A and B are shown apart, each in its own frame.
Chain A
Amino acid sequence: MEKRQLSFWFLAAFFVLFVLFLYGPTITIAILSFQGPQGGLTFPMRGVSFHWFRDLFQEQAVGDIWGAFRRSLLLGLMVMVTTVVVSVMAGLAFRKRFYGSGLLFYVAITSLVIPSILISLGIGLIFNQLGLRVHWATSGFGAQLTWTLPFGLLIMFAVFNRFDKSFEEAARDQGATAWQTIRHVVLPIIAPSLIGVALFGFTLSYDEFARTLLTSGSYNTLPLEVFGMTTNVTSPVIYALGTLTTLFSFAIIGIFLISAWVMGKRRARFGSDAGKGV
C-alpha cells in the first residue's frame, strides 16, 4: 500500500467540511430546540429545557401537527406500497421492448424534471373544474406518485441492468412458468433493492412539499404544516418540531438500511440454495 499523498489530506479535509456543511445546520437547530423558555431563535442558549418539546404536545400552542403527522405517515405508507408495486411491474415491462416503451420512458423522465408547481397547479385545476374536492389521499396521493415513481423506475433500471438473466433461463429450462419465474426467482433476487425503492417512496412522500401544496385540500400534511409555521411561529418550538421529524426520518432510514443489510448478511450466510430444491 502506497503512502497517502498530500492530495489525500486536502481532499479528506474538503470532505469533512462538506459533511459539516450538510449536517451542521441540522445539528444547530437540534441544540437550539433545547432553549430555555426565554430563549430565542439563535444563540446564546438561555438555559436548557424541554420547554419547546412540551409545547409541541399541547395542541393549542401550535396547530394540528399531530393530525398532520398522522396524515403524512399514512400517505407515506400508501405512496411507498404503490411505488414499489408499480415500479417493479414497470421495471419488468421495460426489460423487453413494447410498443411505446421509448415514449413512456421519456414521459417518466418528464415527470421527474417537470417543475413541481405545475403538477400542483394542474391537478388543482382539474379537480376544481370537475367539481371534486382536493384531498391528500386522492389528489395529493397522485401528485406525490409523479415524484416517487420515476425514482422507483430508475432504481429498477439500475437493478435490472445488473441482473443475471441466466437464473431466469435456468428456471425456465426446468419448466417454471413465467409467473413462477418472477415469483420464485426474480423477486427474491431483487428483494434488497426493493427496500431501496420503498425507502425512496416513503421518505420522498413524507417530506414532499411543492407537489402537495395545492393538492392536499383542507387537511395539511406535515411539511405543509411546518411551512405554515415558519410564517407565524417565531419561537424555538419550530426547531423542536424540526428536530423530532428529522429524528423520525433518521429512524426510518435506519430501519430500511438495517433491513437491507440484514437481508444481505443472511444471504451471504446461507449462500445459494442451488441444488437443494430436489
Chain B
Amino acid sequence: MTEVVREVTLPGPVDAPRRKSMGAGLIGWLQAMPLVLVLVFFLLAPIVMIVIVSFWGATEFSIYPDFQLDNYAFLFGSDVTYRVFFATFKYAAITWALTLAIGFTVAYFLAFHVRSQSMQIALFLLCTIPFWTSNIIRMISWIPFLGRNGIANSTLIEWGLIEQPLEWLLYSDFSVILAFVHLYTLFMVVPIFNTTMRIDPVLLEAARDNGASGFQSLVHVILPLTKPGIMIGTIFVVTLVMGDFITVRFMSGSQRANVGRLISNDISLLQYPSAAATAVILLITVLMVIGILLRFVNIRKEL
C-alpha cells in the first residue's frame, strides 16, 4: 500500500511550500473532512465489518462472534466457488472486449468525423443521457425484444431465417452480456472521447504528410494517445461487471451465477459470515485487478 501511495503525483501548486504550508495543510484537512467522514463511516467501516464477520459463525437464524476459518475453508473447498469466479471473469472479459470495440468506434467517430463542435456535444450527450436513467428499467426493456415471442424472434421467423423461436435470446449468457454492454458502453465512450478530444490535430496531419494511411495513423498515433482513456473506461467496466449481481440475476432469470449472486444468495439465506468471506475474496480480486490497471494510467492527470 505504501508503495502505491508514494507514486501519487499531485498536480498541486509547487509555488507555496513556504511558511504558509502549515496553515494551508490544516485548511486542506478541514475541507476534506466531510469526505473523510463519509468514507470512514460508510466505506471503510463496512469493509472492516465484513472482514470481521467473515470469521464469525452462523446458525440457521443468527450469527455469532467467533474466530474460525470455516467460511473460507468452505469457500475454497467448493467447486462452485471456482466455477462462479470463472464465470465472473468470463463476463468481465467478454463485456470489456465488446464495450471497448464499440466505445472506441463511437468516440473515434465523434472526435474525428463530426466536424462542428456543437454537433459533437449534442451527439455526445445523446450517448450519455441513458447513464442518468434507471438501470433496472433499461434491463426490463429488453424483455419485449428477447422473449420467446419477442420482437427478435418474430422478426427472424418472419424473415424465414429460423423456424422455431430461439430459446437462448433471453435468460442466458447472451442476454446477460447484451445487458452489460447496453448498460456500460458509455463508461468507455466518455473517457475515450475525452482523451481523443485532446489529441492535437497537427499530429494526425504530420502522420498523413509522412505517408501514413488512415489505418496506420489510427493504430500508431490515435490508439497510443487514447490509452489513458481506454484504461479509465476499462477500470469502470471491469469493476462494474465483476461487482454486479443484479444484471446477472435479472437477465439470466436466476439461471446463471457470478460472485455477486453468490454473495446475495447467502445474504438472502441470512448466512452473513459466508457472504462476508466471499465478499472479502471478491474485494481482494477486484482491487488486484484495479491495482494492475492503475499502473498504466494516472487518473487525476487524465481528467
Contacts and interface: CB of A to CB of B under 8 A. Distances in A.
- A is bound by B: yes
Interface string A1-42: 100010110011011001101111110110010000000011
A118 B282 contact: yes
B28 A123 contact: no
A103 B6 CA distance: 9
Contacts of B140: 29, 226, 230, 238-239, 242
B134 A245 contact: yes
Nearest to B32: A93
Contacts of A111: 39, 43
Nearest to A165: B13
Contacts of A115: 239, 242-244, 260, 279, 282-283, 286
A68 interface: no
A106 to B, nearest CB: 7
Contact of B43 (A95, A110, A209, A214): A110
B259 to A, nearest CB: 8
Nearest to B137: A242
Contacts of A178: 27
Given A25-B142, A28-B145, A108-B35, A117 B264 contact: yes
Interface stretch (A53-61, A83-91, A183-191, A266-274): A83-91
A125 B35 contact: no
A116 interface: yes
B36 interface: yes
Main secondary structure of the interface of B (DSSP, over half): helix
Candidate in B27, B53, B113, B132 with the most chain A CB atoms within 10 angstroms: B132
Given A28-B141, A119-B46, A101 B10 contact: yes
A105 interface: yes
Nearest to B266: A121
Nearest to A103: B5
B39 A121 contact: no
A217 B250 CA distance: 22
Contact of B46 (A5, A121, A209): A121
B59 interface: no
B299 to A, nearest CB: 7
Contacts of A64: none
Given A98-B29, A115-B242, A249-B132, A157 B303 contact: yes
B247 to A, nearest CB: 10
Contacts of A29: 137, 140-141, 144
B219 interface: no
A16 to B, nearest CB: 10
B78 to A, nearest CB: 19
Chain A's interface size range is: 35 or more
B34 interface: yes
A168 to B, nearest CB: 10
Contacts of A78: none
A25 B12 contact: no
A43 B154 contact: yes
A204 B131 CA distance: 9
B151 interface: yes
Contact of B50 (A8, A94, A122, A209): A122
Interface stretch (B67-75, B122-130, B222-230): B122-130
Nearest to A24: B145
B260 A117 contact: yes
Candidate in B45, B129, B282 with the most chain A CB atoms within 10 angstroms: B129
A15 B143 contact: no
Interface of A: 1, 5, 7-8, 11-12, 14-15, 18-19, 21-26, 28-29, 32, 41-43, 85-87, 89-90, 92-99, 101-119, 121-123, 125-126, 129, 142-143, 145-146, 149, 153-154, 157-158, 161, 165, 178, 199-200, 203-204, 206-207, 209-210, 214, 223, 226-227, 230, 238-239, 242, 245-246, 249-250, 252-253, 257
Interface of B: 4-6, 8, 10-13, 16, 24-25, 27-36, 38-39, 41-47, 49-50, 53, 102, 105-106, 108-110, 113, 115, 123, 125-127, 129-130, 132-138, 140-145, 147, 149-151, 154, 182, 185, 214, 235, 239, 242-246, 250, 260, 263-264, 267, 272, 275-276, 279, 282-283, 286-287, 290, 294, 299-301, 303
